[in-house]
């Protein structure tokens, strides 16, 4: 079992602190994505990575950073430079040669 | 990616078929129709996708009109657990489409007893 794991489900941080959200997959998918969802809003792309050691900015990359050192892992760091970090963060994967993205369960980040 | 139009909300009685429409009149020849749904506080769930032929899987059926300008997602026997926001997305195919999925506002489907 498994698929796409995001942990923790809920995360609380104080303003000014950096925080890293975990995304792990055992699907052997090549591409991984981070999206952000705000209440009543659609998904907005933060970063994505098609292969290990390479990633591209999405529409709202400012204040975020990522790494892709392993195929199965794509952690997202929310830095203190992100002005409104409280949101629902979603990780997705996509197998190379296909166009379907699969989503994890999400992490709800609340910055106090 | 082409823009899609969906009704804001729909209701369905438990056990009945739920038919969710989507208009995508500007769809291009190489673009597929995808359906996802999102249950409250969960990640979006892939349901089905198709190019021009009707498709069926264990979750749903997808009916695409001959001109491909619209489609209908059919949940044959809706249950309370099918209450969710349903998103119709048009996306280029061919196995080379990376980058963001554009989710619109979707249709809020409420299944009632």
Inter-chain CB proximity B100 and A94 less than 8 Å: no
Average pLDDT, chain B: 93
The rounded distance, in Å, linking the Cα atoms of B8 and B104 is: 10
| Residue B37 CA neighbour count, 13 Å, CB half | 19
Cβ pairs bridging A and B (under 8 Å): 59
For residue B41, which residues of chain A lie inside 8 Å, CB to CB? 88, 106, 108
| Predicted confidence band of residue B86 (pLDDT cuts 50, 70, 90) | very high
A38 at B interface, C-beta within 8 A: no
Q: Is A78 left (phi over 0), alpha (psi -120 to 50) or beta?
A: beta
Reported confidence tier of residue B96, pLDDT bands at 50, 70, 90 = confident
Does the pLDDT at position A104 exceed 90?
yes
- Work out the minimum CA distance from A42 to partner chain B, whole angstroms: 6
Res B93 pLDDT > 90: no
- Band (B42; pLDDT cuts 50, 70, 90): very high
CB contact under 8 A, B93 and A42: no
Q: Does B52 touch chain A (CB under 8 A)?
A: no
pLDDT tens-digit readout, A62-83? 999 999 999 999 999 999 989 8
The verdict on a CB contact (< 8 Å) between A99 and B32 is yes
Say what the alpha-carbon torsion angle A40, A42, A45, A48 is, to the nearest 10 degrees.
110
Evaluate if residue A112 carries a pLDDT over 60: yes
State whether residue B43 sits within 8 Å of chain A by CB: yes
Q: B60 pLDDT exceeds 60?
A: yes
């Amino acid at each position: 079992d498994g698929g796409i794991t995001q942990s923790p489900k809920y995360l609380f941080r104080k303003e000014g602190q950096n925080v890293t959200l975990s995304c792990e997959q055992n699907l052997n998918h090549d591409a991984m994505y981070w999206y952000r969802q705000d209440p009543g809003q659609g998904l907005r792309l933060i970063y994505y990575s098609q292969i290990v050691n390479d990633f591209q900015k999405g529409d709202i990359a400012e204040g975020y950073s990522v790494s892709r050192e392993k195929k199965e892992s794509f952690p997202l760091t929310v830095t203190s430079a992100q002005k409104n970090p409280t949101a629902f963060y979603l990780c997705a994967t996509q197998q190379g040669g296909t166009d379907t993205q699969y989503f994890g369960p999400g992490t709800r980040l609340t910055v106090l | 990616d082409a823009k899609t139009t969906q009704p804001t909300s729909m209701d369905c009685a438990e056990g009945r078929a739920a038919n969710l429409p989507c208009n995508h009149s500007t769809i291009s020849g190489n673009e597929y129709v995808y359906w996802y749904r999102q249950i409250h506080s969960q990640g979006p769930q892939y349901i089905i996708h198709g190019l021009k032929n009707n498709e069926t899987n264990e979750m749903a059926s997808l009916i695409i009109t001959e001109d491909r300008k619209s489609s209908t997602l059919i949940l044959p026997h809706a249950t309370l657990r099918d209450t969710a926001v349903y998103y119709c997305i048009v996306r280029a195919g061919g196995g080379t489409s990376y980058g963001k999925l554009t989710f619109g506002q979707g249709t809020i489907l409420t299944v009632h007893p």
